[in-house]
Amino acid sequence: MPAWLPPLLYYAASMLYIYMTYALSQSQTPPLWFGTDAAERSVRLWLYTNSLVAGGFLLFAVHRGGVGVFSWARKHLLLVTAAGTLAIFGSMGTTASLPALGLLMLTAGYFAGGAHYVSAMTIPAPFRGRFLGGAITLTVLIQYLLSSGGKDVSGYLLMLVLLCLSFLAFRSFTALDARLQAAANDQSSMDERNVPPSPRFIAMLIVMVSCLAALHGCGDIMALKHYAQFDESLFHDTARLFFPAGIIAAGCVADYAQRKYLLSVTALALLLRIISLLTTNTQDMFFLAQSTEYFIDSFCIMSYTLYFMDIAPLSDKPSLWAGMGRTLALPISALSANVFALILDNFSLPGFMAAYVLILALLNLFFYHAAFRDWLEIPAYERNAAEVPAPVIPVEPTGAPIPAAAIPLPETITASGDSLSAVTHDLAYYQQKFDFTRRELDVLTGILEAKTAITIAEELGIKERTVRFHISNILKKTGLTHSAELKLFLPLCKK
């Protein structure tokens, strides 16, 4: 069985569980304080369910972090799921079913937290976007086939599916977690490429995801009120099939050039969403607008999920950061929709659009500008091995590798006399070949001159941790594991 198949099935099962519980929530009767207007009830129920799913993500992170009081969650999820579904069906159409629905939402978030953790720890970064696209596509297609027309789900079928998914998720996580524990025990030491994410970068991710989620939520409530004038039943179910197409496209964009274009494309997609709302004024255009909605949503979901999954394996709390994107985005998007719903009738559309564009522009500036990337210490991930030539390490006649310290360095790497001009010339070639940043070239020069990380940091006026971050990116871009290998490998890659 391929190594990626169990995580894919587990992720798809957890996402299907969430979608099924959301489908179940549509049949509930909200209490009076949820409001009398249909749109108000919808967005407040959305806030209720999203917050509980986010709570399930945190529940998994706390449990995985070693707090034993929550150990019942994984051991008894099957019973919790059965009790929740029975309670809902027994009180269908009354507000008494909301607590049971909340219990199911917590279990759904717990399942999804485990799925994000396992995916982050088992799927290499260059393939995570396409992995998520495939898993979510599988989820949506299964849901579409299970339901009548893709939306309404039979109550008994839903209960059976939830129970089966609960059992599958429990068994899958147990097996995959055991594999991860064994791999962690076999790893004797961390190489220089694995530098924990900087606090600045984590803070920037939190701000970025929060802003994107808030903008997404504002767009959702605008769409909800705008589309109320059209007959959604005509096209809604067919338009939903544009979501798998969008999530696959988002995964390919994410994996291309190390996430370089994901945020820009997501920002552009959010702008196109507002434009589609403003231009949809007839029933004939409704199908196009709905299809655009589903396609654009996929880019937002990919951005929420993927950036935090990338930093999880490098951090000391992977179970927390792997699902943090969804943990933040779910309640923030629902909360912004509720707040924006209160002012939607009295706001200035030009002012809103100006703020919308400004926020997206600032996010892209901070995330993509080279100086800000260095300041934030945004990590790179390993390139595809086929893109980087393998280093040639000389060996002794016995077949044992020669220690790096005993390897005579080529003349162009010595730090004396006229050879420095050759090093500068070589750096220009290395920058073009491996896409090094200006600061990475500064650090690389110090490495080639046999300087320590502390010395390089003092000369450049930066922290030693920042130097090690740049060394990590240099090694990932070249496919090496230790800075000592750079002195031999870089001159050889020109041959």
Instruction: Give the CATH number, domain containing residue 439.
Output: 1.10.10
Instruction: Give the CATH number, domain containing residue 198.
Output: 1.20.1250.20
Structure-token pair, residue 62: 């706390």
The three-state (H, E, C) secondary structure of 308-327, written as one string: HHHHHHHCCCHHHHCCHHHH
Whether 438 and 485 share a structural domain? yes
What b/e string do you get for 310-349 counting C-beta neighbours within 10 Å, with b at 16 or more?
A: bbbbbbeebbbbbbbbbbbbbbbbbbbbbebbeebeeeee
In a domain, 85, yes or no: yes
Name the band, by pLDDT with cuts 50, 70 and 90, for residue 193: confident
Name the band, by pLDDT with cuts 50, 70 and 90, for residue 485: confident
Each residue's pLDDT tens digit, 368-400: 777 787 788 887 765 544 444 444 444 444 444
Name the band, by pLDDT with cuts 50, 70 and 90, for residue 153: low
Whether 359 and 472 share a structural domain? no
Smallest CA-to-CA distance from 167 within 10, 29, 54 is with 10
In a domain, 83, yes or no: yes
Compute φ and ψ for 192, nearest 5 degrees: -70, -15
Each residue's pLDDT tens digit, 50-91: 998 999 898 888 877 654 434 444 555 555 555 665 565 555
Contact 335, 217 (CB under 8 A): yes
In a domain, 160, yes or no: yes
DSSP 285: G
Whether 288 and 331 share a structural domain? yes
Whether 254 and 331 share a structural domain? yes
Q: 116 vs 29, which has greater pLDDT? A: 116
In a domain, 386, yes or no: no
Residue 336 has pLDDT above 60, yes or no: yes
In a domain, 205, yes or no: yes
- At residue 386, the pLDDT reads 41
- At residue 57, the pLDDT reads 92
Name the band, by pLDDT with cuts 50, 70 and 90, for residue 328: very high
Place of tokens 């654009």: 296
The residues near 476 (Cβ < 8 Å, ≥ 6 apart) are 193, 379, 380, 381, 382, 383
Name the band, by pLDDT with cuts 50, 70 and 90, for residue 464: confident
In a domain, 383, yes or no: no
Average pLDDT of the chain to the nearest whole number = 76
Whether 166 and 245 share a structural domain? yes
Structure-token pair, residue 10: 């587990």
Contact 493, 480 (CB under 8 A): no
Q: Where are the beta strands (DSSP E) in 297-384?
A: none
Whether 240 and 333 share a structural domain? yes
- At residue 285, the pLDDT reads 77
* Residues linked to residue 395 through DSSP beta bridges, in sequence order: 401
Q: Measure the CA–CA gap between 135 and 139, rounded to whole angstroms.
A: 6
In a domain, 253, yes or no: yes
Q: Position 306: which residue type?
A: L
Whether 148 and 261 share a structural domain? yes
Q: Position 49: which residue type?
A: T
Whether 23 and 108 share a structural domain? yes
Smallest CA-to-CA distance from 338 within 214, 441, 188 is with 214
Each residue's pLDDT tens digit, 270-319: 888 888 877 877 777 777 778 888 888 899 999 999 999 999 988 888 88
Whether 364 and 414 share a structural domain? no
Each residue's pLDDT tens digit, 228-245: 777 655 555 677 788 899
In a domain, 331, yes or no: yes
**Total domains in the fold of the chain:** 2
**Domain extent for 370:** 5-376
Angle between helices 464-478 and 438-448 (to 10 degrees): 90
- At residue 387, the pLDDT reads 45
Least confident among 97-106, 140-149, 183-192, 476-485? 183-192
Smallest CA-to-CA distance from 239 within 138, 140, 129 is with 140
Q: Measure the CA–CA gap between 438 and 458, rounded to whole angstroms.
A: 17
Q: How far apart are the first and last CA of the chain?
A: 40
Q: Sign of the C-alpha dihedral, residues 338, 343, 349, 351?
A: negative
